[in-house]
Each structure stands twice: as C-alpha cells, then as structure tokens.
A = this chain, B = another copy of it.
Amino acid sequence: MIKVTVWNEYVHEIAEEEVGKVYPEGIHGAIASFLRTNEDMEVRTATLKGGELTEELLNDTDVILWWGHMAHNEVPDELAEKIRARVNEGMGFIALHSAHHSKPFKKLMGTSCNLRWSENNQHERVWNVCPSHPITRGIGEFIDIPQDEMYGEYFDIPAPDELLFITWHKSGEVFRSGCTFKRGNGKIFYFQPGHETYPIFYNEAVQKVLTNAVRWAAPVDVDPEFVTCKHTASLEEL
C-alpha cells in the first residue's frame, strides 16, 4: 500500500469563482479522487488553510504531490526543509505545474527554477520522449491539451536524470515538461500541465501519468541510515 498525500495550497479555488467552478473540491480533491481508484494507494489530502500538513502526516507519507502558486511564501521555511529532508530519506515528491517555484522544489533543485510564461491559453502538445519509462507506460506518442498556461524554456533546473516529456506550445515555445530527479533515497517528478483555470486534472492521460508517477516514486525499502554521514573506523580489515 502506497501512502499518498496530495498537497494543494487551495487558494485560487476559493478566491476565484472561475477556478472554483472547475475544481469544486479543490485541485487536491480532483487528484485524490482519481488516485483513490487504485487499490494499491491510500490517499490523504492537506492544504494551507485546513487539514494541514503536519509533521506526523509527512512522516507517514510515501509519496507527496504538490500544487502551489500564489501562496508559495506561506509555506514555512522549516516545513520546506523538512520536506527536502524527507525526500532525501526516501519520500517521493511530485511537483505539479506552478510548483516549479515552490519552496521544497527549489530547495531540492538548487537553482532558480525560473521559466518563461504567458497566460495565452493556447493549445499544447506534450510529447513522450522516453517510451520505456514506467511513468510513460500506456501514454502513447503525445497528450493534447486544448488550453493551458504556457511554460517555456529556458527552464532553470539541473539537467534532469531522465527527460520524459517535451511540450510544444502553439505560440512558439517548447518546455521540458516531464523530468525525473533522484535525491538521496528519494525520487522526484516534475510535470508541467495543470493550470488552475482549466480541467487538466480530469484529462485521462494526465491522470495516467500521475498514477504511474506515484508508483514510480514510491520508496523502495531503503534504510534512512543510507544517506547519513558515517565514520567507518569499524569496517573490518580487508
């Protein structure tokens, strides 16, 4: 059983009527809903303003999905650092769309995570460039998304360990939109589609990507001791 936590700042849905209509249960609710159809996942949610991400919940989480945008700064530095450390110990971290600028993601990357953007609401096509990866299983050649916010290069991230998707935007940009990273015992997946004003998390292919990603990011049974600093005076003589 994979213990999944879906975290969402849950601000747009309340403050903006347009967003609330698209995601009446919040983005976290929509994501939790399709993940819960998988028998190998136990799914909980947490938000900024209610049902907080406690240390207890964090320690009991195998994989966390993170959606944030306008309230990045309301996430305490201490929590962001705890999340970074939990990933290092083995927790999976899936950063969605504008989570590129979230505190935990930036701490994990070590870069500005800046990008080019425009709310031009145009067609995007998400190309699968790594067919043998567990996350692209069953996805086919591309995913068409009729409308989304445009995220384009240069995306200031470390070179991903694996590049799974590249997005084409009608307006002339491209974007490394599906990227994996390993940090210590933990696995990280960044996925670009998912602006709050469009029903992207109801898209079946997007749901399949995220379902695959949760399974991929679930920790293998690694001892957290693995990543500690060790004095090895006690190693046997060879």
CA distance A111 to B116 in the complex (A): 27
- The B-contacting residues of A in range 211-225, CB under 8 angstroms, are 219-223
Copies in the complex: 4
CA distance A176 to B136 in the complex (A): 18
Contacting A110 at CB < 8 Å: which of B84, B90, B222?
B84
CB of A110 within 8 A of CB of B107, answer: yes
CA distance A128 to B173 in the complex (A): 11
> Which of A34-42, A48-56, A179-187, A199-207 is near enough to bind chain B?
A179-187
Contact partners of A235 in chain B: CB under 8 A: 118, 171-173
CA distance A110 to B80 in the complex (A): 12
Contacting A132 at CB < 8 Å: which of B90, B133, B169?
B90
Which of A131, A152, A166, A238 has the largest number of chain B CB atoms within 10 A?
Answer: A131
Does A24 reach chain B (CB closer than 8 Å)? no
| Contact A182:B158 (CB < 8 A) given known A163-B163, A232-B173 | yes
| Contact A238:B170 (CB < 8 A) given known A226-B131, A233-B118 | yes
CB of A184 within 8 A of CB of B156, answer: yes
CB of B172 within 8 A of CB of A132, answer: no
CA distance A23 to B112 in the complex (A): 37
| Contact A232:B152 (CB < 8 A) given known A90-B132, A112-B227, A182-B158 | yes
Please give the residue numbers on chain A whose beta carbons come within 8 Å of chain B beta carbons, in ascending order: 84-85, 88, 90, 107-112, 114-118, 120, 123, 125, 127-134, 136-138, 140-141, 150, 152-156, 158-159, 161-163, 166-174, 176, 181-187, 219-223, 226-233, 235, 238
Return 30 A-B CB contacts under 8 Å, by A number.
A88-B111, A88-B112, A110-B110, A111-B227, A112-B227, A112-B228, A116-B229, A116-B230, A116-B231, A117-B230, A117-B231, A120-B233, A125-B238, A127-B154, A128-B154, A129-B154, A130-B182, A132-B186, A132-B187, A141-B153, A150-B232, A159-B161, A159-B182, A163-B163, A166-B174, A166-B176, A170-B238, A171-B235, A172-B235, A174-B174
Of all A-B residue pairs in the complex, the 3 with the closest CB atoms, nearest first, are A114-B229, A137-B220, A110-B110
